[in-house]
Amino acid sequence: MKYRAGNTHLVCPCCQNDKFDKDYRQLNTKGATLFGLEWENRDATILICRQCSYISWFMKEPEAVK
């Protein structure tokens, strides 16, 4: 799938590929982990390059481009 962030078409900074797989990861903090409150941490969207597997992280979810 192709994506854009704002008005910018996303390409991999390593190989210049423009197709990614999307997933989500939790941004854990020491304090929340210490008290067993990991569920309160924010999530980030990650895009994984289909060609070289480089991972890009986004706090605001990129928009899919058809």
User: For residue 22, with 0-12 CB atoms within 10 Å meaning exposed, 13-18 middle and 19 or more buried, which class applies?
Assistant: middle
> Do residues 3 and 62 touch, judged by C-beta distance below 8 A?
yes
pTM for this predicted structure:
0.80
| Structural domains in the chain, sorted by start | 2-65 (2.20.25)
pLDDT digits (tens, 9 = 90+) for 10-66: 999 999 999 999 999 877 666 655 666 655 657 899 999 999 999 999 999 999 998
**Amino acid in position 47:** L
